[in-house]
């Protein structure tokens, strides 16, 4: 006949076997036979969407936060660190005594954990003489949110050093640590009434709580994603999440092989800002870490360089050194048109990109005349004042007149192919004579003509201007005033 102690040991052993068969290795850890206990990690299934209320604390970098109607910062999470139940069997469990245990958590306060400890004690009292660890794990997994009235948004527990010291003293039942301050001693006596010594808030400092929760949430999401199976929307193959990537912001999933080729093509063509989600009308972009993981170090270096250059191009206070061998990015000084390249020490004007000329107006290049004219004529008063300050009012006036002249010459004349002098055709045939260098050229095709026989250009069948000597002239009309009859007259169109 088995003794009472042997019966207790058998029930303990059976309970540990049941826990090991029900829960995964990540949820339950069974200690060795000598310790005769274990650890249960209770991962709560929080409803979605679920937010943490930061109450004006600093936002987490790289995390998309939202604001509620009262201006509080809300941080979305899908997973929270588990409630950890550490238990150890006494020799006469379950016949006489309950398991010894502690409850610890990073985001629950000691008061909330104390309430859970009291509930575990009640479960033991209701089932005294029977195994209760499985009942405890069920309670923690299924009823914690309701018992503690946890809902979204969740206000994180706020503690300071004094409260942590007081709670620690209450757990150790050591009032001597508070003798330095009578207020601490009184606080310990008050907290002892509400804080269970088995309740432990497992966080080194309240300032680390937000970062800890964010890191756990990210790691848990990656674990869940890697173990799931997805259908790639490009090749339609089913693959584990470990072989897929998920675009942040839209949660669209594609296999790594398809995205690897897609990223390579875009980077080789210089479209570093086009690494978007392939889903139609979706503008979520791949993270640099995702790109680096797929394309390799060499191609990622090109992507990183082009992305940096593209970002700098979009910054209003960044210009590039105008020296062709340098092209270093230079920060523009406020209220100044001078910039000094940090690489080659070249001081230049940020407007005209020429060597710095102090308070003197910028020189206007011929290629900029039409652009300057459009900016000045179509700009508002503020824009015109800026241009007059940059170039000078007289220079602006002269430039406008020159641009009008350039436009008239372009519309009404042609440049001599020999000396470049602008020639205007008033009348006559298409054999032109330059008034400056006396060269012959064709008005139609601008080619040089022979000095001895310029008209052969219009008489040779192989010529592009064959029979076009009088092209563009009006019809032949007559005037009977002459004795010889018809008097020739040409009308030019």
DSSP string across 398-464: HHHHHHHHHHHHHHH-EE-TTT--EE---SS-SEEE-TTT--EEETTT--B--SS-GGGGGT-TTST
> Is 416 known to be catalytic?
no
Q: 392 with 444, same domain? A: no
Q: 120 with 33, same domain? A: yes
Query: Which of 412, 445, 472 is at the close of a domain?
Result: 412
Residue ranges, the chain, pLDDT below 50: 1-2, 57-58, 60-62, 159-163, 173-178, 475-493
Q: How many domains does the chain have?
A: 4
Identify whether 484 is part of a domain.
Answer: yes
Q: 139 with 239, same domain? A: no
Query: Which of 293, 313, 333 is at the close of a domain?
Result: 313
Q: 445 with 384, same domain? A: no
Per-residue model confidence (pLDDT) at position 25: 80
What is the domain extent for residue 297?
229-313
Q: 17 with 152, same domain? A: yes
Residue 291 contacts residue 263 (beta carbons within 8 Å):
yes
Q: Give me the catalytic one of 429, 434, 437, 442.
A: 429
Identify whether 329 is part of a domain.
Answer: no
Q: Which residue has the tokens 């949430």?
A: 217
Identify whether 113 is part of a domain.
Answer: yes
Q: How far apart are alpha carbons 333 and 330 in whole angstroms?
A: 9
Query: Which of 278, 313, 348 is at the close of a domain?
Result: 313
Per-residue model confidence (pLDDT) at position 113: 92
Per-residue model confidence (pLDDT) at position 392: 63
Q: 16 with 104, same domain? A: yes
Q: 143 with 129, same domain? A: yes
Q: Which of 272, 242, 249, 247 is nearest to 259 (CA)?
A: 247
Per-residue model confidence (pLDDT) at position 477: 43
Per-residue model confidence (pLDDT) at position 68: 58
Tens digits of per-residue pLDDT, 422-451?
888 877 788 888 888 888 899 888 888 888
**Any idea what DSSP says for residue 58?**
P
Per-residue model confidence (pLDDT) at position 116: 93
Q: 406 with 440, same domain? A: no
Q: How far apart are alpha carbons 387 and 10 in whole angstroms?
A: 93
User: Helix, strand, or coil here: 308?
Assistant: helix
Q: 383 with 457, same domain? A: no
Q: Which residues contact 404 (CB under 8 A, 6 or more apart)?
A: none
Q: What is the CATH number of the domain that holds 85?
A: 3.10.110.10
Whether the ω angle into residue 49 lies within 30 degrees of 0, i.e. cis, is yes
Per-residue model confidence (pLDDT) at position 40: 92
Identify whether 78 is part of a domain.
Answer: yes
Per-residue model confidence (pLDDT) at position 1: 40
Residue 332 contacts residue 350 (beta carbons within 8 Å):
yes
Q: 399 with 421, same domain? A: no
Q: 259 with 202, same domain? A: no
Q: 282 with 404, same domain? A: no
Identify whether 260 is part of a domain.
Answer: yes
């Amino acid at each position: 006949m088995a003794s009472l102690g042997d019966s207790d040991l058998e029930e303990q052993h059976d309970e540990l076997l049941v826990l090991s068969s029900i829960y995964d290795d990540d949820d339950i850890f069974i200690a060795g036979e000598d310790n005769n206990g274990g650890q249960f990690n209770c991962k709560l299934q929080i409803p979605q969407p679920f937010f943490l209320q930061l109450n004006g604390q600093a936002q987490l970098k790289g995390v998309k936060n939202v604001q509620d109607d009262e201006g509080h910062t809300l941080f979305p999470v899908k997973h929270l660190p588990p409630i950890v139940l550490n238990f150890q069997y006494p020799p006469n469990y379950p016949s006489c005594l309950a398991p010894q245990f502690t409850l610890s958590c990073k985001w629950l306060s000691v008061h909330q954990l104390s309430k859970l400890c009291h509930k575990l004690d009640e479960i033991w009292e209701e089932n005294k003489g029977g195994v209760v660890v499985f009942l405890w794990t069920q309670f923690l997994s299924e009823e914690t949110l309701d018992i503690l009235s946890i809902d979204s948004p969740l206000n994180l527990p706020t503690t300071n050093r004094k409260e942590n010291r007081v709670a620690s003293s209450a757990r150790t039942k050591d009032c001597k640590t508070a003798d330095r301050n009578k207020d601490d001693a009184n606080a310990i006596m008050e907290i002892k009434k509400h804080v269970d010594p088995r309740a432990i808030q497992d966080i080194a400092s309240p300032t680390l709580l937000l970062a800890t929760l964010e890191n756990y949430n990210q790691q848990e999401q990656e674990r869940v994603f890697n173990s799931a199976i997805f259908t790639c929307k490009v090749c339609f193959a089913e693959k584990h999440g470990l072989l897929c990537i998920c675009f942040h912001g839209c949660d669209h999933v594609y296999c790594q092989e398809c995205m690897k080729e897609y990223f390579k093509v875009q980077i080789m063509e210089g479209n570093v800002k086009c690494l978007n989600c392939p889903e139609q009308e979706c503008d979520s972009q791949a993270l640099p870490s995702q790109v680096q993981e797929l394309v390799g170090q060499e191609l990622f270096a090109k992507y990183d360089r082009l992305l940096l250059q593209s970002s700098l191009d979009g910054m209003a206070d960044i210009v590039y050194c105008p020296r062709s061998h340098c092209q270093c990015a230079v920060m523009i000084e406020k209220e100044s048109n001078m910039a000094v390249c940090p690489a080659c020490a070249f001081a230049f004007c940020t407007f005209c990109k020429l060597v710095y000329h102090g308070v003197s107006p910028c020189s206007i290049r011929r290629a900029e005349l039409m652009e300057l004219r459009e900016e000045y004529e179509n700009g508002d008063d503020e824009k015109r004042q800026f241009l007059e300050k940059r170039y000078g009012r007289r220079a602006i006036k002269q430039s406008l007149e020159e641009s009008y002249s350039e436009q008239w010459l372009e519309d009404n004349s042609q440049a001599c192919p020999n000396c470049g002098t602008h020639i205007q055709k008033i009348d006559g045939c298409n054999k032109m004579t330059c008034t400056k260098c006396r060269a012959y050229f064709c008005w139609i095709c601008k080619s040089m003509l022979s000095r001895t026989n310029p008209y052969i250009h219009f008489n040779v069948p192989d010529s592009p201007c064959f029979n076009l000597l009088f092209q563009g002239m009006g019809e032949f009309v007559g005037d009977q005033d002459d004795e010889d009859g018809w008097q020739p007259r040409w009308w030019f169109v």
